[in-house]
Chain A
Amino acid sequence: KAGVTQTPRYLIKTRGQQVTLSCSPISGHRSVSWYQQTPGQGLQFLFEYFSETQRNKGNFPGRFSGRQFSNSRSEMNVSTLELGDSALYLCASSLDEDQPQHFGDGTRLSIL
């Protein structure tokens, strides 16, 4: 069974640009969550989608948004990029909210 796939693995952007990250969950998993991981703040929850609806949201500004498609694939968008957005962005999928999460290997985003 294929794991959680995130693309691209690495991305370099400049301040003010926008970026879209993609996540393909494990087949059959309907819950997809996004996290930001930085050395200073650790793992921080961004949002969770289930059946194309945002069900939970973390404490991030509106520049961070996401969506989920009918096949459970999810995208995360960050607009007006700032230097502080440099981080590893992780996607995790699970069967449902009360089931263990399985993480992808992340997208490393660097802002110049």
Chain B
Amino acid sequence: QQQVKQSPQSLIVQKGGISIINCAYENTAFDYFPWYQQFPGKGPALLIAIRPDVSEKKEGRFTISFNKSAKQFSLHIMDSQPGDSATYFCAASSLGRYIPTFGRGTSLIVHP
């Protein structure tokens, strides 16, 4: 049972464009939603995370939007750069049981 559904599977964006990756979850007990960035040959690195008490969190060019009623959250990468080309994973977990459930990942390619 896939508890976190991530889309799209792959995404191609031009430099300077906006990259948008979406995730949907089923378990209403989830209350922590991190995004990870993974480059080839490297482990995932925490990029940004949000808790459901806020609807949006921004860190530099990266923004998480959260819709609790729809059980959806998304990652927006503004002014996308070729260096952003990587695989992005969303995840969800519940307080007290941090072990996250991951989405299947989105391969992002930003063309110069």
A42-B105, A43-B102 given; A4·B43 CB < 8 A: yes
Residue numbers in B under 8 Å from A31 (CB-CB): 98
From DSSP, what is the main secondary structure of chain A's interface residues?
A: strand
Chain B interface residue bracket vs A: 20 to 34
Q: Restricting to B23-69, which residues have a CB under 8 Å from any CB of A?
A: 34, 36, 41-46, 49
The proximity string for A residues 59-102 relative to B, scoring 1 for CB distances below 8 Å and 0 otherwise, is 00000000000000000000000000000001010100111111
Query: How many chain A residues touch B (Cβ–Cβ < 8 Å)?
Result: 23
- Whether A100 and B46, one on each chain, are in contact in the complex, defined by CB atoms closer than 8 angstroms, is yes
Q: How far is the CA of A92 from the CA of B59 in the complex (A)?
A: 23
| B43 lies within 8 A of A94 (CB) | no
Q: Is A97 a contact of B100 with CB atoms below 8 Å?
A: no
A42 touches B98 (CB 8 A): no
Q: Does B70 sit within 8 A of A, measured CB to CB?
A: no
B45, B89, B98, B100 interface centre (most CB from chain A within 10 Å): B98
**Chain A residue contacts of B112, Cβ below 8 A:** none
- Binary per-residue interface labels of chain B (79-109) against chain A in the complex, 1 for a CB within 8 Å, 0 otherwise: 0000000000100000111111111110000
Question: Using a CB–CB distance below 8 Å, which chain B residues touch chain A?
Answer: 34, 36, 41-46, 49, 89, 95-105
